[in-house]
Amino acid sequence: MDDRNSPPDDGPARDHGGHDSHERPSGDDAETGDVERVEQSMLEEEAENSEETAGNTAHGGGHGAMDHGGHDEQDHEGHGDHGGMHAGHEQMFRRRFFASTLLSIPVLLYSEALQEWLGFSVPAFPGSEWINPVFAVVVFAYGGVPFLRMAVPELRDRSPGMMTLISMAISVAFVYSLASVVFPTESAFFWELVTLIDIMLLGHWIEMRSVRRASSALDELAKLMPDTAERITEGGETEEVPVNELAEGDLVLVRPGASVPGDGVVEEGDSDVNESMITGESKPVSKEPGDEVIGGTINGDGSLRVRIGATGDETTLAGIMRLVEEAQGSKSKTQVLADRAAGWLFYVAVGAAIVTAIAWTVATTFDAAVIERVVTVLVIACPHALGLAIPLVVAINTSLAARNGMLIRDRIAMEQARDLDAIIFDKTGTLTEGEHGVVGVATIDGVDEDEALALAAAVEGDSEHMIARAIREAADERGVEARRATDFEAMKGRGVRATIDGREVFVGGPNLLDHLDSEVPPDLASFADEAGENAQTVVYLVREGELVAAFAMADVIRETSYRVVDALHELDIEVAMLTGDSEDVANAVADELGIDTVFAEVLPEDKDTKVQQLQDEGKLVAMVGDGVNDAPALTRADVGIAIGSGTDVAVQSADVILVQNNPMDVVRLVKLSKASYRKMQENILWAAGYNVFAIPLAAGVLAPIGVLLSPAVGALLMSLSTVIVAINAQLLRRADLSVPTLPDASTSEQAQPAD
């Protein structure tokens, strides 16, 4: 296999943060991996417990009960791929949230503070005084301990974050509350403890749901290769063998419509092969003896005998798979804003607690009141709001995006979209329709365009060639009356002929004119020259030996592509186009749309490097594509955006899917990212603002003038902060995602509100 199919070795791969992926992982990356490993171990423990329970049930109730127990959960949650892992984490935190919330109800009902505030009472009974401590212990053990375990990597790396802050608050509240049972104090933190755990579980559940994504791009690539091949024996017979048994030098038969089982060279046969899923070329490529074919491509109507030159890991498709895998591995987690805020709050809380303890001991004496004051500072240092500040915005962001034709698969990439410097569009199927169409017609005097289209459409009536389909569609769009053709004949390499109203009519390219020895009138020659300058294909119509019309054919530019480019320029984003087509075709499309940068005649592996080339210039880059050949570039880009009608592998490799197949949604993506980030910042300010206000009061800064924040009031302020953050997140639904500078946008293209 050509070395071009291997991952580029001209430098280390660039990750999302712009750093070399071969460098030693940063503390944030290592910490993220450690936290995920802790979550994974918790999943496996739950699966083992579930399996053990199921086994006990099966022992008494038969094998059926065992088969439907914890084993399935373990398979699907504990041992899945990266997407399955996140799905398992989501389900785990969801279970813990609902169970802990249910167990918290008795604690809330028997909380004296809540009864006093809300003016209700519940009946007491012998042992009811143990409801709060017993249920709080259960909630802590089931819902709180996971946070303690996830805080271990943060502490080990000396990088405290949200898990450390949560763990500190619930641990202090738990120990102090249990101590209050043995050594009675003025207040305990049982209801604050359980509600804090419940809300943090809710936040983590929402977060896991927002980051869950499937990672099946490599599987989708593998599906392109057939499972079996028809190998031709020395005796000339065919035998069906698994593809993995093919060896270099084997001769295989590729029937019409079948997939080519490996890279090789055509030895016999003529056919058109669809290579768009590998090369990105929209036009099937004619193959004849001596031409190379690529494994995974689709044969057309002819039959081919191919001598295998590369199989397995040596094929072009395998090279693309390696690029996708490498690019996926180069992605790094960025540190979430809330984690940074939580890290600072941890140090602030610990420092405030130490100062509080020293100050109150010096001012009074060390007693239970001082301990209560310190505990109050540490508990309210972890606001409920901070745990929900980001997940709530992400959840609404995801809903709003879906309503506007965008499926968010990676929230980190979504956040990065606000700072994009350049967006690369794949040409075929993204900026263009991906199918050839008639873009111009010229006729001789005495023949109008509709008549010419009617004749050409009649001749092409029995052909399935893409040019024939384009001519028929152009005739239909104009409402041209259908003509009846007889004696249809395909002239290989020249065109087609048929008889219409007793007259012989031909349709074909320049080779047809040479064959018929037809002269080209000056007007049609000028039309053909202009079409050639615009990288358009010219097809001629000949009637009774006379050249009467010419049709210019091109891959049709999407109507919305013009508005997309203009809108992105107004957002100060550079627009680039990347294609496997020739420079003439690429430059013609780029000039028409006003695109800034053009990458033409790009091979699949080079698409990946073109993205990296812009990244190496210090630019944050998005890639928009729809084909298998775009998968490495989609994965390498800081933000990968797939057109929803594209191949499965492109969709699986992307961070954002444009489900409505509308490039205009790229503009909305950038605007939504900016609006969401603003809401995240505002929410963190609200949540942190609570601490700026509450911690000094809890420490007793205003105690000399009689103002001292009690634990109960601190809890109330915590709840108020949470409500404010929730309301502010909801305001994201009002974000303006329309494009006011584009008055021609249709109603279907206007922004839609979230659910």
Q: CA of 492: how far to CAs of 272, 286, 304, 436, in Å? A: 12, 11, 16, 20
CB atoms within 10 A of CB 175: 12
Farthest CA pair distance, the chain? 116
Q: Could you please report the per-residue DSSP string of 126-152?
A: TTGGGHHHHHHHHHIIIIIHHHHHHHH
**Which pair of structure tokens corresponds to residue 681?**
């910042």
Q: Could you please report the per-residue DSSP string of 439-504?
A: EEEEE-TT--HHHHHHHHHHHGGG--SHHHHHHHHHHHHTTPPP---EEEEEETTTEEEEEETTEE
Strands (E), 532-582: 537-543, 546-557, 574-578
For residues 364 and 718, is the Cβ–Cβ distance under 8 A? no
For residues 142 and 96, is the Cβ–Cβ distance under 8 A? yes
Q: Which of 15, 28, 426, 626 is catalytic?
A: 426
d(CA 540, CA 231): 42
The closest alpha carbon to 426, from 258, 592, 650, belongs to: 650
**Which pair of structure tokens corresponds to residue 669?**
């993506």
DSSP state letter for 21: T
219 is catalytic: no
d(CA 456, CA 174): 83
For residues 292 and 267, is the Cβ–Cβ distance under 8 A? no
d(CA 712, CA 718): 10
DSSP state letter for 744: T
CB atoms within 10 A of CB 347: 11
Number of helices (H), then strands (E), in the chain: 27, 22
Per DSSP, what are the bridge partners of residue 292?
Answer: 265
For residues 700 and 708, is the Cβ–Cβ distance under 8 A? yes
Q: Is 455 helix (H, G, I), strand (E, B) or coil?
A: helix
Cβ neighbours of residue 156 closer than 8 Å, sequence gap 6 or more: 34
Q: Active-site positions?
A: 426
